[in-house]
Amino acid sequence: MSMINGIAASNGIAIAKAYHLAVPDLSFDKTTVANAEEEISRLDAALEISKKELEKIRENARVSLGDEHAEIFSAHLLVLADPELINPVKDNIRNNNINAEAALDETATMFIDMFRSMDNEYMKERAADIQDVTKRVMAHLLQVSFPDPALIDEEVIIIAEDLTPSDTAQLNKQFVKGFTTDIGGRTSHSAIMARSLEIPAVVGTKSITSSAANDVMIIVDGMEGTVIIDPTEDELATYKAKQEAFEQQKQEWAKLKNEPTITTDGVHVELVANIGTPEDVTGVQNNGGEGVGLYRTEFLYMGKSELPSEDEQFESYKAVLENMGDKPVVVRTLDIGGDKELSYLQLPKEMNPFLGYRAIRLCLERDDIFRVQLRALLRASVYGNLKIMFPMIATLEEFRQAKAILLEEKDKLVADGVSVSDSIEIGIMVEIPSTAVAAKQFAKEVDFFSVGTNDLIQYTMAADRMNERVSYLYQPYHPAILNLVHNVIEAAHAEGKWAGMCGEMAGDAIAIPLLLGLGLDEFSMSATSILPARTQITKLSKADMQELSQQALTLSTADEVEQLVRQKTGQ
């Protein structure tokens, strides 16, 4: 056996066979062939296997993720069956006596380039579909395996260099017991999604793909951040016991499911959840969430081949609001960019995507996309307790512009006789240091703040949240961060507004006493963190934590802060 250390990304213990999700090498040589018909038969066979696979994937996606996600595979099947693409490939083989790989590549590339160059979103999407399908057919021609998360039908732990959020969205919990990657950090989006799926995960191991062979037994300890490859009988027994203890602990926590979160000196704080899809609401309810503090709507836009329509979005927002009843639901408008790509928007590659064209920056420029989302939200607002927040706000002008667009769409809807709630709070995420520093000015105009520490920490410490080499700089307890958070809360309260936090820091056991002391009103976290946080907070006194946090603000390092918290709270 051997043990590899990484970053603990999602709690729990998984024990299963390793499944490598590698991008296959699809390189080939162009050759002249003597028998063109033989090449055409090879092509037909590859098309046929690809078709069967795609049908299976579509069915799996329909069952585990719903019709919406399955649609993309229907588009792929249409490409496979399209004579306007397939016949030219065959003609190319016959006319030029070249191998099927070369003919497929040349013909598909020609179509892809042609569709891409058109000034038409629909055709651009078709280019992306052709590209995806061509890769699959090519893999079959070359007889290399083309691993596919949606095809898995036995218990495995996924091993990959990285998982994109859309790979993660395709994972079926029934079979995928855990995952572990070479790169990534605790706040990369695949890690965040693992927590909402409640799949144990260890990321940023640097070397798991080169250390664990396909099919070897592995253990992922998502609490310690370790992966054990080919465990001994003793180790298996130890981890099975740990797995059981974790299940028991969960039952203990569950006792507080329907209780409010009140400190020993009688102060109530709100514990709400971060969600990515309407289906995640079940997890919020099962874990005793008092609302939704962050609905990451970008997942609605991902894993498909085109922008979601206004009606489609309306249905999702309405479902979340209705299911949450009168509990607050904070919906964040589209935050695409950074590690969340939308291939069909064909955005140019950037040197520093986290510092680039993302979130509100993109929405203000592409207000055609933004307005559709806002209209869907406004229409859904009458079905529950909706609050809207804008991501990545750096300047007051951005907030004013976004709010003005929202109000314009509201006026239009009202003029058309559509009912819209009159009590929607409009707030911002505080993710950019300038906004945290200037919170006083923002507080006069926004209804609330929600501190997004995943980004706020990466920008304050200048350390890419996806880069495991600099992950030591993800320091939520650093006095610099605490001072920024303190400033935001004070600014909100001075204007009678509320301040929440929806970055991962809000669910961190060391940070919680500090945030409580700093006066945070709302803690929004992965649903599975809510009950442990409630258990913790109900044992703390707010007055004591105020004293603790004031002292923490004056310390010099994150380490000193952590020691102080441990000493005062006995953790």
Residue 452 or 500: the one with the smaller Cβ distance to Mg ion is: 452
Residue 47 or 272: the one with the smaller Cβ distance to ligand PEP is: 272
The verdict on whether residue 121 carries a ligand-binding annotation is no
**Contact partner at residue 263 from ligand PEP, Mg ion, none, CB < 5 to 8 Å by partner kind:** none
Structure tokens at 201: 């995960």
Measuring CA to CA, how many Å separate 73 from each of 54, 57, 123, 125, 126? 6, 7, 17, 13, 12
Number of residues that bind ligand PEP (CB under 6 A): 11
Is residue 280 part of the contact set for ligand PEP (CB under 6 A)?
no
Least Å from the CB of residue 378 to Mg ion: 23
The verdict on whether residue 431 carries a ligand-binding annotation is yes
**Contact partner at residue 502 from Mg ion, ligand PEP, none, CB < 5 to 8 Å by partner kind:** ligand PEP
Is residue 185 part of the contact set for ligand PEP (CB under 6 A)?
no
The contacts of residue 48 (CB under 8 Å, 6+ apart) are: none
The verdict on whether residue 361 carries a ligand-binding annotation is no
Whole-angstrom distance between the N-terminal and C-terminal Cα of the chain? 32
Decide if 372 contacts 384 (C-beta within 8 A). no
Residue 50 or 454: the one with the smaller Cβ distance to ligand PEP is: 454
Residues 56 and 273: their CA atoms lie apart, in Å, by 33
**Contact partner at residue 159 from Mg ion, ligand PEP, none, CB < 5 to 8 Å by partner kind:** none
**Contact partner at residue 453 from Mg ion, ligand PEP, none, CB < 5 to 8 Å by partner kind:** ligand PEP
Residues 205 and 147: their CA atoms lie apart, in Å, by 21
Is residue 384 part of the contact set for Mg ion (CB under 5 A)?
no
Q: Which of residues 484-503 bind ligand PEP (CB under 6 A)?
A: 502-503
Decide if 292 contacts 272 (C-beta within 8 A). yes
**Contact partner at residue 409 from ligand PEP, Mg ion, none, CB < 5 to 8 Å by partner kind:** none
Is residue 508 part of the contact set for ligand PEP (CB under 6 A)?
no
Is residue 293 part of the contact set for Mg ion (CB under 5 A)?
no
| 502 among known catalytic residues | yes
SS (H, E, C) 192-226: HHHHHHCCCEEECCCCHHHHCCCCCEEEEECCCCE
Phi, psi for residue 525 in degrees, rounded to 5:
-145, 175
Number of residues that bind Mg ion (CB under 5 A): 3
Of 61-69, 412-420, 449-457, 530-538, the window that binds ligand PEP (rule: CB under 6 A) is 449-457
Is residue 453 part of the contact set for ligand PEP (CB under 6 A)?
yes
Q: Which of 504, 510, 314, 546 is nearest to 420 (CA)?
A: 314
Of 170-178, 240-248, 452-460, 480-488, the window that binds ligand PEP (rule: CB under 6 A) is 452-460
Decide if 428 contacts 393 (C-beta within 8 A). yes
- x/- mask, Mg ion, residues 412-451, rule CB under 5 A, reads -------------------x--------------------
Q: Which residue has the tokens 């609605």?
A: 300
Residue 4 or 533: the one with the smaller Cβ distance to ligand PEP is: 533
Measuring CA to CA, how many Å separate 123 from each of 87, 104, 114, 316, 469? 20, 19, 9, 26, 40
The DSSP output letter for 144 is -
Neighbouring CB atoms inside 10 A of 221's CB total 25
Q: Which of 318, 332, 385, 387 is nearest to 363 (CA)?
A: 332
Residues 168 and 183: their CA atoms lie apart, in Å, by 14
**Member of 455, 464, 504, 508 binding Mg ion (CB under 5 A):** 455
| 363 among known catalytic residues | no
Marked catalytic residue, from 69, 140, 189, 486: 189
Is residue 452 part of the contact set for ligand PEP (CB under 6 A)?
yes
Is residue 296 part of the contact set for ligand PEP (CB under 6 A)?
yes
Is residue 290 part of the contact set for ligand PEP (CB under 6 A)?
no
Residue 146 or 390: the one with the smaller Cβ distance to Mg ion is: 390
Least Å from the CB of residue 474 to ligand PEP: 11
Is residue 290 part of the contact set for Mg ion (CB under 5 A)?
no
Residue 101 or 298: the one with the smaller Cβ distance to Mg ion is: 298
The verdict on whether residue 469 carries a ligand-binding annotation is no
Q: Which of residues 330-359 bind ligand PEP (CB under 6 A)?
A: 335
The verdict on whether residue 186 carries a ligand-binding annotation is no
Decide if 256 contacts 509 (C-beta within 8 A). no
The DSSP output letter for 306 is S
Decide if 74 contacts 58 (C-beta within 8 A). yes
Is residue 454 part of the contact set for ligand PEP (CB under 6 A)?
yes
Which strands sit side by side in the sheet containing 201-203, from one edge to the other?
A: 2-5, 226-229, 217-221, 13-20, 156-160, 176-181, 201-203, 7-10
- x/- mask, ligand PEP, residues 130-169, rule CB under 6 A, reads ----------------------------------------
Residue 228 or 330: the one with the smaller Cβ distance to ligand PEP is: 330
Q: Which residue has the tokens 């055709």?
A: 123
Q: Which residue has the tokens 């206004």?
A: 310
Least Å from the CB of residue 9 to ligand PEP: 13
Q: Where are the alpha helices (DSSP H) in 287-335?
A: 310-324
The DSSP output letter for 159 is E
Output the residue with the shortest Cβ distance to Mg ion.
Answer: 455
**Residues that are catalytic:** 189, 502
Which residues contact ligand PEP by CB under 6 A? Answer: 187, 294, 296, 335, 431, 452-455, 502-503
Which residues contact Mg ion by CB under 5 A? Answer: 431, 452, 455
Binding residues for Mg(2+): 431, 455
